[in-house]
Amino acid sequence: MKRPKSEIITFKADGALREAMNGIANRSEFIRAAIVGALDGVCPLCRGTGILTANQRNHWSKFAVDHAVAECRSCHEPHLVCSYRPRKNSRH
């Protein structure tokens, strides 16, 4: 079975970053691991841009009716909280 072909991706690094990476035995592997780790933490809505499109804002507005961002009492990080409560007479 053929392995998927790798693609070379390059980026610019300033002097401070180059110096910080001196001594790393396998910089390519280090960079790959750092990128994969960072992608795990990307916002599922904006995908890391920090900006929602008009359609995403509309979806978020509907979602936000029954959801809020609150601070965790244990770790003090923000997280989503669902406040939805079905009506007693509602049928689903």
Report the pLDDT value the prediction gives residue 92, as an integer from 0 to 100. 55
Quickly state the pLDDT bin for 2 (edges 50, 70, 90): confident
pLDDT score for 27? 93
Question: Of the candidates 20, 42, 47, which has an alpha carbon nearest to the alpha carbon of residue 31?
Answer: 20
Q: Domain extents for the chain?
A: 15-82
Per-residue pLDDT reduced to its tens digit, 31-70: 999 999 988 888 888 888 999 999 999 999 999 999 999 9
Higher pLDDT, 5 or 13: 13
Total residue length of the chain: 92
Supply 71's token pair. 């601070």
Give the residue-averaged pLDDT of 66-83.
94
Candidate from 2-6, 17-21, 31-35, 48-52 with smallest mean pLDDT: 2-6
Is-contact 30 22, C-beta < 8 A?
Answer: no
Mean pLDDT (the chain) is 90
- For the four alpha carbons of 68, 73, 74 and 75, in that order, the dihedral sign comes to positive
